[in-house]
Structure 1
Amino acid sequence: MRHVRLVVLIVSLCASGAAAAAAAEPGSGVGSEAACAALPSPQAARTPQERQALVICRDIELVRRVATFIHQGSAQLEKGTPSDREISEVVRKELLGVRDDLRTTRGLLENIKLRDGDGLLLTPSHWVRDLNGDGRVATWERNFFAIPKRHDGPLKVGLASDDPGYYRDEYLADASFKVDQSDLTWALGYHYFAEALVEMVLSYSLEGENYSADAIVLVDTAAAKRAHALLVAGFKSTERLRRTLLAEKDDAAEWIANPRQRNSVFPLHLDEGDFAVWGEVLKQVIPLMEGKTLLVPAAKQGGMLGSLAGLCPAGQGLNVVRLFQQPPRRLLSWGGAEQQGRMCQRVDAGHPKSPLFELLASYERRATNDSMAGMRMLRQLLWVN
């Protein structure tokens, strides 16, 4: 179980780093290990091209760092029996470094403003690294950054594989695109969300020597507050991405495209309906994250949404801002009058019930009744932040 906890915690960061990195790989050498070594420091980078290249190199290095940590940590776990406390301390130290790396790279992205011709030409499959530090480049590592093919059938893209035929059938070996401002916004959104995830994990730590339901306790409220600010920034960045994409008029070597653009290698085609749903969801999510509306799930919804229904008394809803400002001391202990008093707020004209759950439930029913719609929803969750 300790092995599983370690892998689940870090793989989520690896996936986020890979998704963000896919937004910025130039096709003419920059991104190779030698070219990355020749780049200036983040503080010394001045041009948009230098900053784009640094984002590429730093994100590749972050993926390699996390993959190596998983590989080496797994090997050490197989050799010995470290305690839960020892594992917790090692993981926390690694996450602190990951957080600092993400923070620096996010700052680079926030300060890149492209003019015509500033964007780099990208071919993500040209990134080849020994990601897990075992001294060889396996098939999955050689193809880790390649772009999946676009198709509307069942989603076949899965975990990293050592089968070359899998990548030949499911990926575009030489797909290229040219970075524009919307692509940078797409990458920035992933950085916000990945950094928020790390901050939220770091806000809690193990109390005592062994994991149990009550052993994961709050140790850094400021980290939880930073996680909330990053999530709000991420959702607002995603809304900027949606608006920027819809405003684009060119159609040449695109990454993520609007419904009028055809020359795109993005693994998912987004039509007018997708953009409309995207906008409607963000219209509900952003006020909720800012504490302007309250989360009031219904018990009849079932699953995780239904399990949240009992958190607040009747007539009240969960204020997400309060949840991050005053998180529960014990991560897995939710409930009780004291916790309700901190998290819950009466629904009124100033703080109405969010319609987000009703919106999500309608699309959940659609996905249940239409497998193709379900596949499209899954792809959007994977590829559109």
Structure 2
Amino acid sequence: MMRLIPVARLAAALAVSSALALPAAGAADFTTTAGYADACAEVARGGVPKDDDARIAAVICRDTALVSQVVTWATEGAKRMEKERIPKEAIMIEVRKEIDYVIAELGATRKLLAQIKLGKRKSLRLAPARWERDIDGDGTVKLWEKYLFALPKRGQQGFRLTAPSNEQAYYDSQYNLDAVIRVDQSDILWSLAYHHFIEGMLTNLRAFELTDKFDGLILARPDLLKTAHRLIGNGFAVSGKMRQEVLAETDDDEEWIGNPKQAASVFPVPLDAADFATWGMMIKEMSALWQGRTLLPATQGGRGMLALVAPFCPEGSGLNVARLYLHPPAAGTVYAFRHTKLPTDSCQRIDKAHPLSPIPQMAEQASKTDAGMGFLRYLYWTN
């Protein structure tokens, strides 16, 4: 009997290990077109997700449906508005409605992501190149729609934005059509950071309205700037946590974003130890700037990337981003597209406690080198 105890313990350990390694029984299958369609049909029925795997499925389906909604609205809606010669005022009403819808959806999926606590467990397997959708709703799945969610091949190629292609050879040469990801907690944090950032940027946008002559912006809802500041600030915090989570991983199995010791990563940008150090430094500096611990160089007569858009702060002072967002000007403040000056209340004296941020100088240096576009691609993928 005593000899059976170690065997029983081993069996129990194996059972626990299996539970940690595999998704729940009956979990959604995102590795095939049919599995993706079935999973999203289940999500569309509106049930409340009962576990983390179901929450992940709900986020994937709702986010990809949101992409379909936006693309359809942008393409078909633009054609309709041009054909019907809709007045600018009516167009702006429709634009605001669409942005508000996107913000609400991102907020809902962000809250689902925040509930997911996988720990060391691996969750669903994903094959994004097989998530075929009729994106624009015309009844057919064109090649660019078939591969809309496919991942670019891993490598150091530059960042570029191009029109969708309908050539199979293009996708064969530029995309990893066999990429598979097994979701872990760092992947959840990666997605959560992106949700914070995009929702925050759109909320920032909705704080303003266009002037009647479309020659400037009106600060219509100052409180939304405070909300945007919180969302984007949380995005930096989540991105930093995600970086630490990735570095701590010791497995190497169908990874999305991998650390320098993980070879089985399909992340489009290979990241070595120096990249992780740069990433950590960028998060640290952006967080300091965002919280007002460092200042943007924005003095009168200044040069560089900020010169055209910078507020003209007094000599020896810089722009305090946190003060600008958390103590915004009054509703109704107008910003012309030309010769805009932000209120000097957002300026702060440069001193030891509030030095200038190195971020603008780093960005300017990167823009002047061949590596500039590669750096932009790196920032895009690492959010």
Please state which band the TM-score falls in when normalised by the shorter chain.
0.7 to 0.9
The aligned amino acid for 1:198 is: L
Are residues 288 and 155 of structure 1, via their aligned partners in 2, closer, same or farther at CA, if it must alter by over 3 Å? closer
Q: Secondary structure at the match of 1:322?
A: helix
Comparing 324-333 and 196-205, the one that deviates more: 324-333
Map of 2:356 onto structure 1: 353
The aligned amino acid for 2:260 is: P
Please give the TM-score of this superposition, normalised by the length of structure 1: 0.84
Map of 2:372 onto structure 1: 374
> Contact conserved, 2:158 with 2:374, CA < 8 A, in 1?
no
The aligned amino acid for 2:53 is: Q
Map of 1:341 onto structure 2: 344
Q: Secondary structure at the match of 1:54?
A: helix
Map of 2:14 onto structure 1: none
Q: Secondary structure at the match of 2:343?
A: helix
- Tell me how far 1:335 sits from its aligned partner: 5.2
1:106 aligns with 2:117: no
Comparing 150-159 and 163-172, the one that deviates more: 150-159
| Counterpart among 307, 332, 337 of residue 336 in structure 2 | 332
Q: How does 1:278-293 map to 2 (within 5 A)?
A: 278-293=279-294
Q: Which has the larger radius of gyration?
A: 2
- Tell me how far 1:247 sits from its aligned partner: 1.3
CA–CA separation in structure 2 for the residues paired with 1:272 and 1:35: 38
> Contact conserved, 1:31 with 1:56, CA < 8 A, in 2?
no
CA–CA separation in structure 2 for the residues paired with 1:40 and 1:79: 32
CA–CA separation in structure 2 for the residues paired with 1:55 and 1:31: 15
CA–CA separation in structure 2 for the residues paired with 1:168 and 1:332: 47
Q: Secondary structure at the match of 1:39?
A: helix
| Counterpart among 168, 178, 182 of residue 182 in structure 2 | 178
> Contact conserved, 1:25 with 1:123, CA < 8 A, in 2?
no
Map of 1:257 onto structure 2: 258
Q: Residues 22-76 of structure 1: CA distance to partner in whole angstroms, max 9, x if unpaired? A: xx98326786333223238888223110100001111011101101111221111
The aligned amino acid for 1:229 is: R
Q: Secondary structure at the match of 2:306?
A: helix
> Contact conserved, 2:259 with 2:271, CA < 8 A, in 1?
yes
The aligned amino acid for 1:111 is: Q
Comparing 34-43 and 308-317, the one that deviates more: 34-43
Q: Residues 146-205 of structure 1: CA distance to partner in whole angstroms, max 9, x if unpaired? A: 111123345577331112211111111121011111111111111111101210111112
Map of 1:266 onto structure 2: 267
The aligned amino acid for 2:36 is: S
Map of 1:139 onto structure 2: 143
> Contact conserved, 1:48 with 1:118, CA < 8 A, in 2?
no
CA–CA separation in structure 2 for the residues paired with 1:309 and 1:66: 32
**Gap regions ≥5 residues in structure 1:** 1-23
Q: How does 1:44-123 map to 2 (within 5 A)?
A: 44-123=48-127
Note the aligned Cα RMSD (angstroms). 2.4
Are residues 243 and 187 of structure 1, via their aligned partners in 2, closer, same or farther at CA, if it must alter by over 3 Å? same
CA–CA separation in structure 1 for the residues paired with 2:311 and 2:82: 41
What is the number of equivalent residue pairs in this alignment? 351
| Counterpart among 370, 374, 384 of residue 382 in structure 2 | 384
Are residues 353 and 42 of structure 1, via their aligned partners in 2, closer, same or farther at CA, if it must alter by over 3 Å? farther
Are residues 58 and 49 of structure 1, via their aligned partners in 2, closer, same or farther at CA, if it must alter by over 3 Å? same
CA–CA separation in structure 2 for the residues paired with 1:204 and 1:43: 36
- Tell me how far 1:361 sits from its aligned partner: 3.8
Identical counterparts, % of pairs? 39
1:233 aligns with 2:234: yes
> Contact conserved, 2:295 with 2:350, CA < 8 A, in 1?
yes
